[in-house]
Chains A and B, each alone.
Chain A
Amino acid sequence: MTLLEFSRGPMLHFALFVFVFAVLWRLISTFMLGWRKRKSEWRTTSGSSAVKGAIAVGNRSWPHPEFLERTAFGEAVGYGYHIGLFAIILLGAPHVIFWKNLFGISATWWPTIPSGIIHVISVVTIFLLLIATIRRYMHPPLRRISNFDDWFTLVILFGLMISGVMAVFGLGGRYEIILAVHIISFNVLLIWFPFSKLMHAFYILPARFFIGYTHAKKGAST
């Protein structure tokens, strides 16, 4: 079995299994920890609070202008690499094929972005990730609260991005080896995902909803 076959065969299977298993484990156990019944006299009904909660899910994506002066740079970098990553993962032709094969769907509607643009996005995204990393190291509060989780996640992302770019541009060795390294880093990401901060991809929805909901009940700012 070649490295490539291993990476997209047994290892991918294992990684997907771990991913699904542990993500559900973490989410289910979080949401089953019990809910406190609140007894205060609320300003709004549960229904309209829920609507406000749903709005908060979207609203929090855009920072309040009051904070922008201090956070604009961090926001821009964060936004930048998130958009970059999603564009590459969801709209890059080889990835689209990967997802289609993974889920066994034909999905002819699924669009792709021309590779040339994806290449540019990739390089920009790596650059932004680099800035984010430097910022994490240089910015005092960020550095103070960073832990292994943050750094290791960045390492995986870099591995993934750089191996991907190398595979595409035919750098650093034979394509199938680099491709295998790329897929292996993806597998590592899948396995690491449920145990790491990457879970924010899932928690972001309930967390934003809750703050929107509870603040709406008090009439507090969201």
Chain B
Amino acid sequence: MTETIPLTIKSAPGKAATIGGGVQAMAHEILSHLERLHETGETGAIDLKSLPMAPDEFHGIKKMLGQGELDLTVHMDGPTRIRETAFPGVWWVQHKGENDRILAEYIEIARFPDFLSAQPDHIAEAVRHLRDRLEEQSQGAA
């Protein structure tokens, strides 16, 4: 039982130590979120836009997190890109508006990115819609 289970990753995580303190701190924050997700299922997120980061730090974090299996782009008033990092459960989410302007960019720690899930109020409405449809049908049948 000593053999390690290999993670399926596209690019190996970079070495954070060579980048600097800011990246280290970020890595620790992600780790604590990830532990919580693992133990309690609680999700978390870290906003990247509000952190005053130097470009090299930003790239340092990107490099450290690496690239996982998924890399989706959704076009919707500009591209929204959702990447799974080399650490499953850690997602890199970037919303761009028209003209490639970044609206929001954050790291999400969750089983699945919230943006892609159906929201409760959406679902509530879907329940209503589907019920209406069925009623229409049954009325039509009658």
Chain A in direct contact with chain B (Cβ < 8 angstroms)? no
Residues of A near any B CB (own CB < 8 A): none
